[in-house]
Amino acid sequence: MLPLLLLVFAAHFDAVFSQCQNLSSLEFAYAPNLSSGVTGQVIFNNLVHPRGMKFDDASNLLVVEAGFGVVALTLKNTSHCQGWERSVVVQNSGYNHGIEIGNGMLYVSARGTVDAYKYDSRSISVGSSNPTTIVNELGGWNGTDYNNTHTLVYQPPSDTDPAFLIVSIGPASEGNLYAGQASSGVSQIRRFALNAPIPTFGHNWMDGEVIAVGVRNGVGLTIDSGNNLWIAENSVDLSLWNDTHIPVSLASPINNNPADELNVVDLDNITGGFYGYPSCATVWDPTGFGNFTTGEQFAFTYTLLNDTSCQSPDINTPPMLTFQAHASPLDIKFYNGVTGNNVSFVGLNLSWVGNGFVSFHGSSSTPSIGDPALVKIPWNTSTHAPVANVTSQTGYTYLIQAGNLTACPGPCIRPVGLQFDMEGRLFVSSDATGEVCVSRFSWKSFG
């Protein structure tokens, strides 16, 4: 009886599960380069592979530590802690990327499921109840060729629609020739109504409403003020395809094609459109690519579609913007400036309000093309689109970049999750270095 009592007692003792890191003691593991007007500071390190992040309504930053669970980082200013404190919210080694909060629920993704917990931001806890499974059998009935990680977006209810949970899925392999069809269950984005009774073991993945197909790996997802879903897509690795159409000179692991993509879906007019994979990709560097230009579509599996079909928007939806090959964009967020009541402004330059911010995880090959970075996309908030044309290679600028690119993907910052706080600061997780850092506009002291 005694050990059990001790366990129960310990569970209510914050000190057992909380850990403070004073800000003054923290430095980047590998100093990144910061563009002028931007500062960067590590707020916590030694995390286990930090991926997706989400602020709750009490300004706790929830972080998925892949292979560990969900933790909360809370800013303290006490005699014992002048920095952020980490506390464990859910310990579950299956959780590895996606996280969302909506209507009092915390949603977290594992390889094959999405779970939901009732979440209380004041106690920073999910209580003792078991999670509800919202989605199961991600990847459907079509074998095991699906990626480990899934991004989650909570779509709030409207006058006419209930709330939805939007979920993405990529393939694990390069060569899934079925992935352009909704029935393949991979390389697509689906959504699940949260009002309807949730089946006992969750919705089957294949029962979700199809939002987009042929999105190879749509990891970065966010909804803009016009109810458009923006998708930062990780494109194919051409070196693993061998179609004769691809110039031989490009077929090396460090090639600079195809572009990674920024795509969009109008959530007020969901058609389940096709976005190219595994047939069409987009040119980044036209050097050695015949008369193609940046942003133009080409077929890389002639067995499925040809260039003409790939270039027809009725067949293949073109991207809105292109990113450097192998940039590996993992998150996108829009900057809304100061969003809290009665909070000070300590955030990014207010002239950037409305712009898009994207994390680049960078190439996983060495030497790398595709830099680990945080970039800013100038945005036209009236047309709800990037300022630059899809044909542009300068549609975004670097704010933070790994300092020594020849060392990447080894000793380098590798940005993953992005979150703005109410004061306009941008928080960035880096899984490879176990860090969360914060970016501000040349601000002198920490607030």
Ligand X SMILES: *[C@@H]1O[C@H](CO)[C@@H](O)[C@H](O)[C@H]1NC(C)=O
Among 58, 243, 339, 442, binds ligand X (CB under 6 A): 243
Among 184, 255, 355, 439, binds ligand X (CB under 6 A): 184
| Identity of the residue numbered 137 | E
Q: What is the rounded distance in angstroms from the CA atom of residue 262 to the CA atom of residue 321? A: 5
Residues 6+ apart with CB under 8 A from 445: none
Window contacting ligand X (CB under 6 A); options: 35-43, 120-128, 189-197, 239-247? 239-247
Q: What is the rounded distance in angstroms from the CA atom of residue 348 to the CA atom of residue 427? A: 11
- Residues 52 and 148 sit within 8 Å (Cβ to Cβ): no
Query: Token pair for residue 279?
Result: 């047939």
Window contacting ligand X (CB under 6 A); options: 7-15, 174-182, 225-233, 425-433? 174-182
Q: Which residue is nearest to ligand X (CB)?
A: 172
User: Nearer to ligand X by C-beta: 106 or 305?
Assistant: 305
| Count of positions on this chain that bind ligand X (CB under 6 A) | 43
User: Nearer to ligand X by C-beta: 202 or 372?
Assistant: 372
User: Nearer to ligand X by C-beta: 86 or 203?
Assistant: 86
Q: What is the rounded distance in angstroms from the CA atom of residue 138 to the CA atom of residue 201? A: 13
- The sheet that has 50-55: what strands, in order across it? 19-22, 82-91, 69-77, 61-65, 50-55
Which of the residues 73 through 132 are near ligand X (CB under 6 A)? 77, 80-82
Query: Token pair for residue 383?
Result: 């047309």
- Residues 115 and 107 sit within 8 Å (Cβ to Cβ): yes
> How far is residue 380 from each of residues 266, 329, 339, 384, measured CA to CA in Å?
16, 20, 20, 6
User: Nearer to ligand X by C-beta: 342 or 382?
Assistant: 342
User: Nearer to ligand X by C-beta: 125 or 148?
Assistant: 148
Q: In angstroms, what is the minimal distance from the CB of 434 to ligand X?
A: 17
Query: Token pair for residue 121?
Result: 């931001």
Among 10, 22, 27, 339, binds ligand X (CB under 6 A): 22
Beta-strand pair 280-282/297-299: antiparallel
217 binds ligand X (CB under 6 A): yes
Residue 291: exposed, middle, or buried by beta-carbon count in 10 A (0-12, 13-18, 19+)?
exposed
Binding-site string for ligand X from residue 401 to residue 420, where x marks contact by CB under 6 A and - marks none = x-xxxxx-------------
Query: Token pair for residue 435?
Result: 């860090």
Q: In angstroms, what is the minimal distance from the CB of 348 to ligand X?
A: 19
Polymer length in residues for the chain? 447
Binding-site string for ligand X from residue 246 to residue 285, where x marks contact by CB under 6 A and - marks none = -----------------------x-x--------------
Binding-site string for ligand X from residue 26 to residue 55, where x marks contact by CB under 6 A and - marks none = -------x----------------------
Q: In angstroms, what is the minimal distance from the CB of 3 to ligand X?
A: 29
Among 18, 39, 92, 148, binds ligand X (CB under 6 A): 148
234 binds ligand X (CB under 6 A): yes
User: Nearer to ligand X by C-beta: 85 or 115?
Assistant: 85
Q: In angstroms, what is the minimal distance from the CB of 414 to ligand X?
A: 13
Among 17, 28, 178, 345, binds ligand X (CB under 6 A): 178
User: Nearer to ligand X by C-beta: 116 or 317?
Assistant: 317
Binding-site string for ligand X from residue 341 to residue 380, where x marks contact by CB under 6 A and - marks none = -x--------------------------------------
User: Nearer to ligand X by C-beta: 81 or 251?
Assistant: 81
Interface residue list for ligand X (CB under 6 A): 20, 22, 33, 77, 80-82, 142-143, 147-148, 170, 172, 175, 178, 181, 183-184, 217, 234, 241-243, 269, 271, 290-292, 301, 306, 308-309, 342, 389, 391, 401, 403-407, 446-447
